Amino acid sequence: MANKDPEAVFRQYGGQLRMSDALKNGITRYMLYSLRDKGKIEQISRGVYRLTNLPPLSNQDLATVSLRFPNAVICLTSALSYHDLTTQIPHFISIAVPRGAYLPNLSYPPIQNHRFSKSAYHAGIEEHNIDEVVVKIYSAEKTIADCFKYRNKIGMDIVLEALKFYRARKQFNLQALLKYAELCRVEKVMAPYLETII
């Protein structure tokens, strides 16, 4: 496998590759560094490389985090931003991981991790293809319930803005919202706000 064309391996992975995946496919560290020095690939994060002849990334930060942390799920303000439920621009990528999960170090993009219980972590995950990378993001309804749970950390104004934007959508799903509110144990907190918008 060592004689396999490194650029073909990159294309097979959508143009982006983790160091561990490169090594599994017979691409040595020396070959990676040589490709980088020749300008054929660029290092977009520690241990993550990308072909330079690809079009610019639409959301490099989400793709990078998902490549580095395959078990991470984009949550809270980052998920609100992805779902267009906020006017805020997140200063870091919020990710959810199961309690007890190992997180390697990442210098860029800045991340804020939240450890969720097993049931809260697995509920409401959607997979989106961003820049040829599968990115796990919580659904809009699960994100709103999570935001109510973390309202003291992210601010009630952001939570209420998200609820208002969500209510204005045609895909408003009260049953899903109530299901995730119960799962996150915030149904009593959410009830007065839901009553005012319905």
Same domain flag for 66 and 152: yes
Q: Of 3-7, 30-34, 84-88, where does mean pLDDT reach its minimum?
A: 3-7
1 within domain boundaries: no
Q: Tell whether the model's pLDDT for residue 3 goes beyond 80.
A: no
Same domain flag for 131 and 149: yes
Same domain flag for 94 and 18: no
43 and 49 in contact (C-beta within 8 Å)? yes
38 and 62 in contact (C-beta within 8 Å)? no
- The closest of 147, 143, 142, 153 to 176, measured between CA atoms, is 142
Structural domain of residue 164, as residue ranges?
A: 60-197
> Residue 29: its pLDDT value, please?
86
pLDDT tens-digit map of 14-47: 778 888 888 898 888 888 888 888 888 888 777 8
Q: Tell whether the model's pLDDT for residue 104 goes beyond 80.
A: no
If you average pLDDT over every residue of the chain, what do you get? Answer: 86
Q: How many domains does the chain divide into?
A: 2
pLDDT tens-digit map of 107-164: 778 888 899 999 999 999 999 988 778 899 999 999 999 999 999 999 999 999 999 9
Give the whole-angstrom CA distance, residue 122 versus residue 22.
Answer: 29
Same domain flag for 135 and 75: yes
30 within domain boundaries: yes
- The closest of 122, 127, 158, 112 to 142, measured between CA atoms, is 122
Same domain flag for 66 and 26: no
Same domain flag for 37 and 112: no
Same domain flag for 87 and 175: yes
Same domain flag for 184 and 109: yes
* Domain end among 33, 51, 69: 51
Same domain flag for 124 and 39: no
Q: What is the pTM of this model?
A: 0.73
> Residue 1: its pLDDT value, please?
44
Same domain flag for 98 and 13: no
Same domain flag for 104 and 136: yes
The listed range with the strongest mean pLDDT (43-47, 94-98, 168-172) is: 94-98
Q: Count the neighbouring beta carbons within 10 Å of the beta carbon of residue 188.
A: 8
